[in-house]
């Protein structure tokens, strides 16, 4: 098998030549985002920790939901997910400055469910390699040479961990910023997949995106879609009612009262005159609390673009929630700590993209720093 990372050799040579490299022990160490990426993103794009009002026609806080299998109504047809793996491969030193050097594999994939229930992979599967360093900690000369070396590497991008993005703003530690930068690049691939590759799908074939919806979906004009998040912001406060009868619940209290087969009311994602109600969200309990560790387990957060900003018809929300609940059959115990909130087609899309990634063992064997140049004395 040829070395799949051989094309990176010129870029690594630039780092070894222009600076001094301290390789990672064992060639590569996998780097995880310090906090859950979905929760970090959800918090980063939120402009408030307080949610006011109910954005649907029925004003009750909890609604019963009946699962709607595809044999009854089959409108959730496309399912997409993204994945990333980030590795720390060393540190480059340049005089008094230094930067971690990280490599990330990022990608996104989608599956389409046929009338008979079979899942078909949607082509192409998006997959990229990232080289991650802190541009602000390196000289312009080194960065320029690095850009030139990476520019000729197929399907590879150079990213600075000091560039702003919704993930980076919430993270300070340099290696964690690299892992979150890779997660943002993964999200860009997911957005492109939904906006470009799946744009021509029929209006009656909905797309389910793994994770929440950010600013990029504010004025969504494509075929219908929803975001289904397994992890989400936990410090929200919900202000319900007005006057003497008003009350405030935190998220834990709200979900503690959410029974299996029920959903919460619909809430506006953002406050403010310009954007309030353009994206709405609600929570659905797809598994019973019995046997789970805390109230947030077994719950997914559903988000949906709402460009008209009008209150949603409650029966319409019940239909979406029922279809989501019917997708809960997968239980990947031991493979994913979020098994309690997995949807089966999403887990299939996740496996599709992860199958495109090279293993940690392959990467450790393939990445080799060039020999440091001899220093004359």
* Predicted pLDDT of residue 166: 64
pLDDT, residue 33, reads 53
Q: What is the DSSP letter of 6?
A: G
What pLDDT score does 245 carry?
A: 77
The pLDDT, as a whole number, for residue 377 is 40
Domain extent for 189 = 6-366
Beta-bridge mates of residue 21: 92
* Residue 269 falls inside a structural domain: yes
The alpha carbons of the chain give a radius of gyration, in whole angstroms, of 23
Q: What is the reported pLDDT for 62?
A: 97
Whether the Cβ atoms of residue 214 and residue 45 lie closer than 8 Å to each other: yes
pLDDT-based confidence at 167, cuts 50/70/90?
A: low
Q: Distance between CA atoms of 315 and 310, rounded to whole angstroms?
A: 15
Instruction: Give the residue from 305, 301, 341 showing the smallest Cα distance to 321.
Output: 301
Q: Is residue 347 part of a domain?
A: yes
The total of structural domains in the chain comes to 1
Residue 304 in any domain: the answer is yes
User: Does any domain span residue 35?
Assistant: yes
Over 50: is that where the pLDDT of 376 sits? no
Residue 373 included in any domain: no
Given the DSSP bridges, would you call strands 299-305 and 279-285 parallel, antiparallel or unpaired? Answer: antiparallel
Contact 159, 185 (CB under 8 A): yes
Q: What is the pLDDT of residues 224-256, one digit of tens each?
A: 999 999 888 888 999 988 777 789 999 999 998
Determine the pLDDT at residue 265: 97
Q: Is residue 374 part of a domain?
A: no
Q: Please, which pLDDT band fits residue 176 given cuts at 50, 70 and 90? A: confident
Residue 14 lies in a domain: yes
Neighbouring C-alpha atoms within 13 Å toward the C-beta of 119 = 17
CA distances from 294 to 284, 299, 328 (A): 15, 10, 19
Instruction: Tell me, yes or no, whether 375 lies in a domain.
Output: no
Half-sphere exposure of 271 (CA within 13 A, CB side): 12
**CA atoms within 13 Å, Cβ hemisphere of 67:** 13
For the segment 90-139, what is each residue's pLDDT rounded down to a tens digit?
A: 999 998 889 999 999 999 999 999 999 999 999 889 999 999 999 999 99
- pTM of the complete model: 0.88
């Amino acid at each position: 098998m040829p070395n799949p990372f051989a094309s990176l050799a010129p870029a690594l040579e630039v780092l070894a030549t222009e600076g001094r490299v301290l390789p990672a022990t064992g060639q590569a160490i996998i780097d995880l985002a310090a906090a859950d990426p979905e929760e970090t993103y959800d918090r980063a794009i939120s402009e408030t920790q307080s949610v006011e009002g109910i954005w649907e026609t029925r004003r009750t806080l909890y609604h019963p939901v009946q699962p709607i299998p595809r044999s009854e109504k089959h409108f959730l047809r496309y399912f997409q997910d993204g994945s990333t793996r980030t590795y720390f491969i060393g540190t480059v030193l340049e005089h008094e400055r230094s930067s971690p050097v990280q490599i990330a594999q990022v990608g996104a994939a989608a599956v389409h469910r046929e009338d008979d229930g079979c899942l078909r992979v949607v082509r192409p599967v998006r997959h990229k390699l990232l080289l991650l360093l802190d541009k602000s900690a390196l000289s312009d000369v080194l960065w320029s040479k690095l850009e030139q070396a990476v520019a000729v590497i197929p399907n590879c991008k150079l990213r600075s961990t000091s560039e702003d993005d919704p993930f980076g703003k919430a993270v300070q530690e340099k290696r964690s910023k690299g892992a979150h930068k890779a997660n943002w690049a993964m999200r860009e691939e997911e957005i492109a997949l939904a906006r470009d590759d799946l744009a021509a799908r029929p209006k009656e074939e909905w797309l389910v995106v793994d994770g929440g919806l950010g600013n990029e979906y504010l004025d969504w004009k494509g075929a219908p879609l929803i975001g289904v998040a397994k992890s989400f912001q936990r410090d929200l406060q919900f202000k319900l009612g007005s006057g003497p009868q008003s009350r405030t619940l935190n998220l834990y209290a709200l979900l503690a009262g959410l029974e299996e087969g029920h959903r919460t009311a619909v809430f506006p994602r953002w406050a403010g005159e310009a954007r309030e109600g353009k994206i709405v969200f609600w929570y659905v309990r797809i598994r019973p609390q019995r046997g789970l560790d805390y109230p947030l387990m077994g719950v997914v957060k559903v988000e949906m673009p709402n460009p008209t900003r009008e209150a949603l018809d409650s029966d319409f929300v019940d239909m979406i929630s029922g279809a989501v609940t019917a997708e809960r059959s997968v239980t990947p115990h031991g493979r994913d700590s979020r098994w309690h909130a997995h949807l089966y087609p999403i887990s299939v899309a996740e496996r599709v993209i992860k199958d495109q990634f090279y293993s940690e063992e392959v990467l450790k064997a393939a990445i080799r720093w060039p020999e440091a140049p001899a220093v004359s004395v």
